[in-house]
Amino acid sequence: MPKKIGVYICHCGSNIAGTVDVEAVAEFAKGLGGVTLAKDYKFMCSDPGQDMLKEDIRSSGLDGVVIAACSPLMHELTFRKAALEAGLNPFLVQIANIREQCSWVTEDRALATQKAKALVAGAVARALSHEPLEMRRVEVQPSALIVGGGIAGIQAALDLADAGVQVYMVEREPTIGGHMAMFDKTFPTLDCSACILTPKMTAVGSHPNIQLMAYSEVEEVSGYIGNFRVKVRRKAAYVDHDKCTGCGLCMEKCPYKVDSEFDQGLSKRRAIYVPFPQAVPNKPVIDRDACAYFKKGKCRVCEKVCEPGAIDFEQQDSIEEIETGAIIVSTGFQAMDMTAMPQLGYGKHAEVYSALEFERLNNAAGPTLGKIVTKDGREPTSVAILHCTGSRDENYHRYCSRVCCMYALKYAHLIKEKIPEAAVYQFYIDMRCFGKGYEEFYQRLQEEGVRFIRGKAAQVWSGKEYRAIATDDTGLEVDDAQLVVQAEDTLLGKLVRVPVDMIVLTPAFEARDDAEQVGKAFLLNRGADGFFLEQHPKLAPVSTTNDGVFIAGGCQGPKDIPDTVAQGSAAASKALSLITRREIEIEANTAYIDEELCSGCKNCLDICPYNAIDFDDEKNRAVLNEALCKACGTCAATCPSGAIRARHFADDQIFAEIEGVMSI
């Protein structure tokens, strides 16, 4: 029986009708083979427009519809839904994009009209060859996996767990807390970071719906939206945490010390350690690389002092498998290594600090108990804070790191609070204080007497170096222990040299070194800046192109704590709306493998980005797992024997469309 196609040409107000002669196009469509009716209408997406479509489907018994309107990204779903309501399989709706691809990009009315006709002819030809497809429904596991226990992950975990969802939190370090746990105060309110964070950390540790897997890493991810299967490596802590009471005696007695990562190398920790006193879980792990027993076969002091007998040198890594409906990746960021800019003297001069080092120096629980002192114990009389070191810089990172201006102001405040007579200089390019209460904080710091020099610091020398190379007669007197910062104050148009006792750099906020590897595991794309890419920068900021996997926090790009927490909650809400659906529809236009034609060459197995194709060794044929197939079509294009067909995008369907377009 010949098919009956209905064609609808949308005016889109004047968006289309202003350039395209819509009536002429409708008239033209009426003459195309298979077309039963063709109409033009002001707004097809409006309720009356949809009602007209439904009415026509029912009364004329249409078995195919072409809507010539805007991009399918805008309203394909709208019209598919309308068709379904009228009893027509939604895959029999074909969109001809005559707005973005025609009226908006063509000035000449006659040419635009001709192009619209060609696009409609193509769509009609395509619609004639379409087949009805059924959407598939799969169950959703009512649980979520959160990878990374910084503040983004913590927020997401608590939101989900409070909603009754089973949450698995995987954290690589022995404790959750991330970068925020290292900070002393937070801008612009100057809340104590630990005071607002540790209650949340504790809540994660004790929540009945959260299974915390610290000192663990995701090893492998398989499955698909609603039904992921994840292998987690639980690293051997060499301490049985079920037996350990957390008394801390082992750490006290351990004779071996190494640099504390948490204190940025400014203090020492033992070979058996918890990173900091408020750690969650508050149970120690043994660092194999630092432990004398593992290195030399002797010591075992911890074992001797441990009353509950929790030390277990024989412990091995174990693999735990979890099933989860949604995944939130919140793996955070890292600070750029400042030795990349030798002119700033980091790593060469003791009193040039990176931001995280200065955070620890300020922290009441840090290596100096919060006293701002030089490495030889002096209280600085002057400090320079250098902005944009590695950020907004083609040589390192083009983007603005978004947090440095603000924490630089915070540092200035903390210095002024602790050493009121100290001079604090900010060397900046532009002050970016855009958040709520941020500009006010900037003004407050100006009131507190911080000096602003508008110019990027170009060079740093030690006092000794400076005296060896300086020949000027500026009368600048510098002693060995001091540092000299050189910049142009662009507002004065003068080269300035400022002798200071201490310098704090603001290293660029960058994607972690292992972002590529993590991205591959979770099938996440990364932007040119290395951070994970959201599905849409405005409208889908925590979704990704991998359905069911969401991102939050510093792994997506530089952001401050308020934005990170907001993303954590946003990702939790996206995960929750997925989980609470219990069942979801997935792509109907999957690939299809014709067993008769398959030659067993296995080309498709390697090429499939979603691991959706298996191989049946007995039959020597490729087998498609439809649940995993994302309908990308790569296998269909690769298959040398033409055995794989991409449903809804089959060769004959596409050729029909091309022939339709070319017929004009």
Partner 1 sequence: MEVATPFLEVAEAIEQGGAEDLNVCYQCATCTGSCPWGFVEPLNVRRLIHLAQLGLEGYEGEDIWRCTTCNTCKIRCPRGVGIVDLIRSIRMMIGETGLIPQSLRAALGSTKSEGNPWSGERKLRNKWAADLGFTPFDKNEHEYLLFACCMPSYDSRSRKLVEAVAKVLSAAGIRAGVLGSEESCCGESIRKIGDEGLFGNLAEGNGKLFAEHGVERVLVISPHCYHTFKNEYPELGTSVQVTHMTELMASAIAAGKLDLKKPVDAAVTYHDPCYLGRHNEIYDAPREVLRSIPGVKFTEMIRNRDCSLCCGGGGGRMWMETKFGERFSDLRIPEALGVGADVLATACPYCINMFEDSRLNLNKEDEIRIKDVTELVAEALA
Q: Which residues sit at the interface with partner 1, rule CB under 8 A?
A: 342-343, 388, 392-395, 429-430, 455-459, 461, 465, 468-472, 486-488, 490, 493-495
Q: Least distance to partner 1 from the beta carbon of 426, Å?
A: 14
Count of other CB atoms within 10 angstroms of residue 403: 24
Determine the Cα–Cα distance for residues 207 and 224; give it in Å rounded to an integer: 27
Report the residue number, 310 or 344, with the smaller CB distance to partner 1. Answer: 344
Determine the Cα–Cα distance for residues 335 and 57; give it in Å rounded to an integer: 60
Report the residue number, 369 or 469, with the smaller CB distance to partner 1. Answer: 469
Q: Least distance to partner 1 from the beta carbon of 505, Å?
A: 14
Report the residue number, 392 or 645, with the smaller CB distance to partner 1. Answer: 392
CA 89 and chain centroid, separation: 37
Beta bridge partner(s), residue 499: 484
Q: Least distance to partner 1 from the beta carbon of 640, Å?
A: 41
Q: Least distance to partner 1 from the beta carbon of 480, Å?
A: 14
Question: What is the maximal distance between C-alpha atoms in the chain?
Answer: 99
CA distances 225 to 25, 434, 545, 575, 610, Å, are 42, 37, 11, 10, 12
Count of other CB atoms within 10 angstroms of residue 567: 28
Q: What is the dihedral of CA 443, 445, 450, 452, to 10 degrees?
A: -40
Q: Is 636 helix (H, G, I), strand (E, B) or coil?
A: helix
Q: Least distance to partner 1 from the beta carbon of 462, Å?
A: 9
Report the residue number, 293 or 399, with the smaller CB distance to partner 1. Answer: 399
Report the residue number, 473 or 617, with the smaller CB distance to partner 1. Answer: 473
Report helix angle 651-662 to 109-129, nearest 10.
150
Report the residue number, 28 or 427, with the smaller CB distance to partner 1. Answer: 427
Which tokens belong to 447? Answer: 């009131």
Q: Least distance to partner 1 from the beta carbon of 388, Å?
A: 7
Determine the Cα–Cα distance for residues 176 and 159; give it in Å rounded to an integer: 16
Determine the Cα–Cα distance for residues 86 and 172; give it in Å rounded to an integer: 53
Sorted by sequence, the CB contacts under 8 Å of residue 545 that are 6+ apart come out as 523, 524, 525, 533, 535
CA distances 141 to 224, 325, 457, 570, Å, are 11, 4, 53, 20
Which helix H or strand E contains 272, and what residues bound it? strand 272-273
Report the residue number, 381 or 486, with the smaller CB distance to partner 1. Answer: 486
Using alpha carbons, select from 143, 46, 41 the residue that is nearest to residue 576. 143
Q: Least distance to partner 1 from the beta carbon of 465, Å?
A: 5
CA distances 37 to 6, 56, 69, 657, Å, are 5, 9, 17, 19
Using alpha carbons, select from 325, 322, 301 the residue that is nearest to residue 313. 301
Using alpha carbons, select from 223, 141, 206, 140 the residue that is nearest to residue 169. 206
Q: Least distance to partner 1 from the beta carbon of 382, Å?
A: 19
Q: Least distance to partner 1 from the beta carbon of 589, Å?
A: 45
Identify how many contiguous H helices and E strands the chain contains and give both numbers.
19, 34
Sorted by sequence, the CB contacts under 8 Å of residue 73 that are 6+ apart come out as none
Report the residue number, 358 or 461, with the smaller CB distance to partner 1. Answer: 461
Q: Least distance to partner 1 from the beta carbon of 489, Å?
A: 8
Report the residue number, 73 or 495, with the smaller CB distance to partner 1. Answer: 495
Report the residue number, 242 or 394, with the smaller CB distance to partner 1. Answer: 394
Asked whether the beta carbons of 484 and 498 are under 8 A apart, the reply is yes
Q: Least distance to partner 1 from the beta carbon of 508, Å?
A: 11
Report the residue number, 288 or 494, with the smaller CB distance to partner 1. Answer: 494
Q: Least distance to partner 1 from the beta carbon of 459, Å?
A: 6
Report the residue number, 365 or 458, with the smaller CB distance to partner 1. Answer: 458
Residue 376 burial (C-beta neighbours within 10 Å; 0-12, 13-18, 19+): exposed
Q: Least distance to partner 1 from the beta carbon of 471, Å?
A: 6
Report the residue number, 255 or 342, with the smaller CB distance to partner 1. Answer: 342
